[in-house]
Amino acid sequence: MALQWMILACVVAAEAAVAALLTLPAPRAVRKQIVGFTSMLLQPFAGILPFAAFQLLDIYWKNEHRLMCTSEICTADERIRFEKSMFKAQRNVILCVSACLLYWCIYRICKYNKDIKALEEIEKHLKEE
């Protein structure tokens, strides 16, 4: 069960690195290459969105059907196991939401850079006339 969370953690780390790379100041030629390469990768990486959504649904289903350990009849070990599973579920929710949010941020940054490039070309064309 930990493999999907390891994959999701690696994807979030890669998305964070790409987002940081896109927001760093760079010369126009370098920025153009980075944005072009990232834009090509956005469509295949969109598969992380349904994967994260499915994982969120899985966490929700497990949370709804989890045995509650809130009364005094629970032993200390059961209470610790319950709290540990709750912390893991909360961590995994944060991981899923951050994967979706980082993907959206990367998409918007690429779109803004493409819009800026298009506006610069329009401005250049209007100056030539």
Alpha-carbon span 95 to 108, nearest angstrom: 20
Residue among 80, 87, 79 at smallest CA distance from 63 = 87
CB 96 within 8 A of CB 52: yes
pLDDT digits (tens, 9 = 90+) for 42-76: 998 899 999 999 999 988 898 887 777 766 778 88
Burial call 90-118: b when 16+ CB within 10 Å, e when fewer:
eebbebbebbbebbebbeebbeebeeeee
Alpha-carbon span 101 to 103, nearest angstrom: 5
pLDDT, position 3: 87
pLDDT, position 18: 94
Q: How many residues in the chain?
A: 129
Q: Is the pLDDT of residue 110 over 90?
A: yes
